[in-house]
Amino acid sequence: MGLTVGLIAAPCIGPFVLGLLTYVGNLGDPFLGFVMFFTLALGLGAPFLVLGIFSGSIAWLPYSGAWMVWVRNLFGFVLIGMAVYFLQPLFPGKSLYLYCLAILLIVSGIYLGWVDKNRGGKPFTAMRNIVGILSLLLALWLLLPSKVESGSKIKWQPYTSEIISQARQAGKPAIIDFYADWCLPCKELDTYTFADERVVEAAEKFVMIKVDLTSFNSQSNNELRTAYDIKGVPIIVFLSTAGKELKELRLAGFEDADKFLRRLDKVTVSP
């Protein structure tokens, strides 16, 4: 199953594998690439190996009962939450996405904690109350203004050849962010890295450009992907004041604010 599970999981891990391939290709290190993909293979196959080794221990589990029905309901809400998570690219804004998650947490917390009619002993009742309270607290945390309003504050510009020329004439370095609406690491960059106040301040020294590759194979995007050798998203390209790419600084995938700031420092000192 470990050898064949990739066929089953391909729709889920396909975008991740593409990003990993891009990252490994940019590194150019065959050994590190082997280690990364071997780790991925272990992640897919190890659960089946553990299940096969310890399958005889299933008899040790408690007998099913009311608690099992409650657990089924719990995972039902988890699946609904996963559906909302994977629909995130379709939401018009982050605020609506967080509101939907918070509402789901409130409904599930109240239902699982106090409305569900399945009853058990004191330990089971305590667990129900803990799950309900934690769900409500997590919902309140998601509704904090800092969460709802978070996001990139950088003034991005759409890509045009004129902008690149203007940046070169002004003697300013440029940053080109290749992203797509369906790309979760792209959204992580916007939410965590590009929303960091230090990154926002440092970005004022650059011409900040975004390229929307949501329609990955459109003619205009194909030309840009060929020009900049883009195999997947997210890819961030750094251009010097002369308009030439600093290929050693190219970023593939998510990077936190601290590491990204160190990368920006290298751009400013590059010729």
Domain boundaries, the chain: 5-50, 63-148, 157-269
* pLDDT at residue 146 greater than cutoff 70: no
Average confidence (pLDDT) over 248-270: 88
Task: Report the distance separating Cα 118 and Cα 175, nearest Å.
Answer: 56
Reduce the DSSP state of residue 52 to 3 states and report it.
Answer: helix
- Residue 213's closest CA among 125, 89, 126? 89
* pLDDT at residue 1 greater than cutoff 60: no
pLDDT category at 66 given cuts 50, 70, 90 is confident
CATH of 157-269, one of 3.40.50.880, 3.40.30.10, 3.30.70.1450, 3.40.190.170: 3.40.30.10
CA Rg, the chain, in Å?
A: 23
Query: What pLDDT does 90 receive?
Result: 75
- Per mean pLDDT, which of 11-15, 93-97, 159-163, 187-191 is the most reliable? 159-163
pLDDT category at 245 given cuts 50, 70, 90 is very high
User: Exposure pattern of 141-150 as b/e (b: 16+ CB <10 Å)?
Assistant: ebbeeeebeb
Task: Report the distance separating Cα 204 and Cα 5, nearest Å.
Answer: 46
* pLDDT at residue 151 greater than cutoff 60: no
Query: What pLDDT does 18 receive?
Result: 74
Q: How far is CA 52 from CA 8, 38, 56, 58, 81, in A?
A: 19, 20, 8, 11, 29
Task: Report the distance separating Cα 183 and Cα 16, nearest Å.
Answer: 9
Out of 40-44, 145-149, 158-162, 200-204, which region has the weakest mean confidence (pLDDT)?
145-149
pLDDT digits (tens, 9 = 90+) for 219-238: 888 899 999 999 888 999 99
Residue 244's φ and ψ, nearest 5 degrees, are -100, 145
